[in-house]
Amino acid sequence: MQTLGTKALILDVALHRFAEHGYNGTSLNEIADKVGIRRPSLLHHFPSKEALYRAVLLDAFADWFALLEVAVAGDVKRGWPQVERVLRAAFRFFEDHPDFVRLARWEALEGGPMLSQELGDLLRPFFDRGTEFLEREMDAGRLRRYDARQLLLTGYGAVLSYLSDASLMTSLLDVDPLSIKMLAARREHVIDVLRNALQP
Amino acid sequence: MQTLGTKALILDVALHRFAEHGYNGTSLNEIADKVGIRRPSLLHHFPSKEALYRAVLLDAFADWFALLEVAVAGDVKRGWPQVERVLRAAFRFFEDHPDFVRLARWEALEGGPMLSQELGDLLRPFFDRGTEFLEREMDAGRLRRYDARQLLLTGYGAVLSYLSDASLMTSLLDVDPLSIKMLAARREHVIDVLRNALQP
DNA sequence: CACCATCAACCTACACCTAGGTAGGCGACA
DNA sequence: TGTCGCCTACCTAGGTGTAGGTTGATGGTG
């Protein structure tokens, strides 16, 4: 049942590998082997390792941007309920796309193969929209006052680190941090902390 | 004025390189060049790349463990003031040891060159002591109730991500995230958020 | 003091492997 | 007959690690 074309299959396998071991830790041979072709055949579909990586990264982020667009559409609610709505949407996305989380983390750490700047530019509009929303709600007294940009970065760290650093979490928690149960516990915890910090 | 012996100099340079580019992204040639010797001379001091990496990592963590010992010594205060005391000590350490932060992040992401388990074992006692402290204070009503372990992990993510993902922060903030001013802003922000989340 | 053995720290040269990427051929199929 | 997708064979760069030699400091001994 391999409905995926070879190209899509390559992207799929590469996403897993890059997410797991990063750019430097992944070889084209590994990817090709898992796809079931030889390396030169892989390079027939993508001109270079870096081109493949870019394609993987942009694909992954396209999904994330699409979700963000939907999640913030209309600013349906105000104050904390809207924050919680977006948070839950984000959590659901991250839980469904663990490879995306790790890929993003590698990219953020490495500064990427000269791609980080570009990604930052794509991320920036969403960051600014988030900032504006938070500032508006704080001004209206519906959220406790903080530096809105710092607050977004705090959310970023609190949400993503747990998911990206799974092996460390396993050492500390003695359970699979990515099990359904632990993911739910994590989600509710973060939301709980932020609610208490944000509600006036 | 090179008061450092060659071995210490190697460790120093290697720490920088591993922190910046990770294990796979760093070659012994780079390190040797920067030290001012040839690679075989470097391998005279450390038997292999992995041995060098282990030495770097254990050194870095030894400093961190030493600080933790001091910071938690005596549980001088109770409730939030003690939490804030430890937080500030940790921030100061991280600001003084940016390479440590990034090294830890690489290690957590990569699962490390088979070292992560070992590191987890070293970290574990501190994690458990933190958990116990928080639970005691929560039971006494001096801190708002959360899952203590989740809370520690939230702190981990919120504090370290900003410092380790500096290149991403630069893209989003348009300023040097590691400047004295921004570091202070970050510190006060995180403490502020956690205070509001934790004080009953 | 003169002599010699030892050893640490460095070097050059080399062996070996794996990586990414290229050249060119072969078969299937429109 | 052309083109697509794949192959084998090959190239080069760069990585880790080893072999073996040089130098210079140390330190015991006649």
B148 backbone dihedrals φ, ψ, rounded to 5°: -60, -40
pLDDT of residue B132: 96
Q: Establish, for the pair of chains A and B, how many residue pairs have beta carbons separated by less than 8 Å.
A: 148
What are the DSSP calls for A66-106, one per residue? HHHHHHHGGG-S-HHHHHHHHHHHHHHHHHH-HHHHHHHHH
Nearest nt (C1') from A36 Cα: D6
Residue type, B123: L
**Residue A200 in tokens:** 């006036």
- On whether any CB of chain A is under 8 Å from the CB of B184, the answer is no
Cα of A197 vs its chain's centroid, Å: 23
- Across all strands, nucleotide nearest B47 (CA–C1'): D17
Strand D interface, B 76-115, C-beta < 7 A: none
- Residue B104 is predicted with a pLDDT of 95
C1’ C18 / CA A27, Å: 9
pLDDT of residue B133: 95
Q: What is the pLDDT of residue A1?
A: 40
End-to-end Cα distance, chain B = 54
DSSP symbol at A142:
S
| Protein residue minimizing CA–C1' distance to C13 | B40
> What is the Rg, in whole angstroms, of the alpha carbon atoms belonging to chain A?
19
What does the alpha-carbon distance between residue B106 and residue B100 come to, in Å, rounded to a whole number?
Answer: 10
For B27, left (φ over 0), alpha (ψ -120 to 50), or beta? beta
Environment class of residue A36 by beta-carbon count within 10 Å: exposed (0-12), middle (13-18) or buried (19+)? Answer: exposed
pTM above threshold 0.85:
yes
Tell me what pLDDT residue B113 has. Answer: 52
> What is the C-alpha to C-alpha distance for residues A113 and B157, in angstroms, rounded to an integer?
24
Question: Does A196 sit within 8 Å of B109, measured CB to CB?
Answer: no
Q: Average model confidence (pLDDT) for chain B?
A: 93
| Structure tokens given for A5 | 């074309």
**Closest alpha carbon to A133 in A73, A195, A196:** A73
Q: What is the distance in angstroms measured between the alpha-carbon CA of A97 and the sugar C1' of D29?
A: 75
Task: Measuring from the CA of residue B9 to each C1' atom, give the nucleotide at the shortest distance.
Answer: C9
Span A63-81, pLDDT tens digits:
999 999 998 886 678 899 9
- The tens digit of pLDDT for each residue in A12-51 reads 999 999 999 999 999 999 999 999 999 999 999 999 999 9
- Residue A2, pLDDT > 70, answer no
Residues B22, A21: C-beta atoms closer than 8 Å: no
Amino acid present at B63: D
The predicted pLDDT at position A75 comes to 64
Strand D near-CB residues (< 7 Å), A 22-41? 36-38, 40-41
Closest CA to B125 of B57, B195, B61, B191: B61
Angle at CA of residue A94, ends A179 and A134, nearest 5°: 130
Choice between B62 and A114, residue whose per-residue pLDDT is larger: B62
- Through-space separation of residue B45 CA and nucleotide D28 C1' in angstroms: 27
What confidence category does residue A112 fall into, taking pLDDT thresholds of 50, 70 and 90? Answer: low
Residue A114: the pLDDT is 58
> Residue A87 and residue A105: Cα distance in Å, rounded?
18
Collapsing DSSP to helix, strand or coil, A24 comes out as: coil
- Closest CA to C10 C1' — which residue? B41
Q: Which residues of chain B have pLDDT under 70?
A: 1-3, 74-75, 112-114
Q: Do A173 and B149 touch (CB under 8 A)?
A: yes
**Surface-to-core class of residue B128, CB atoms within 10 Å of its CB (0-12 exposed, 13-18 middle, 19+ buried):** middle
Q: Which of 142-161 (A) contact B at CB < 8 A?
A: 144, 146-147, 149-151, 153-154, 156-161
Of A70, A89, A86, whose CA–CA distance to A78 is shortest? A86
Tell me the CA–C1' distance in angstroms for B37 and C1: 37
d(CA A32, CA A25): 15
Report chain A's mean pLDDT, rounded to a whole number: 93
Mutate to test the interface with A, among B26, B99, B123, B154 (most CBs of A within 10 A): B154
Q: Which long-range contacts (CB under 8 A, 24 or more apart) does A62-68 make?
A: A63/A93, A63/A97, A63/A100, A64/A93, A64/A97, A64/A100, A64/A104, A65/A122, A65/A126, A67/A93, A68/A126
Work out if B50's Cβ lies within 7 angstroms of strand D: yes
- Residues of chain A contacting B186 with CB distance shorter than 8 Å: 150, 153
What is the C-alpha to C-alpha distance for residues A94 and A91, in angstroms, rounded to an integer?
5
What per-residue confidence (pLDDT) applies to B14?
Answer: 97
Of A21, A186, A196, the CB nearest to B197: A196
CA of residue B8 to C1' of nucleotide D22, angstroms = 25
End-to-end CA distance of chain A: 54
Query: Please, which pLDDT band fits residue A118 given cuts at 50, 70 and 90?
Result: confident
* pLDDT of A116 above 80: no
Hey, is the C-beta of B80 within 8 angstroms of any chain A C-beta?
Answer: no
* Amino acid sitting at position A7: K
Residue A175 sits at the chain B interface (C-beta within 8 Å): no
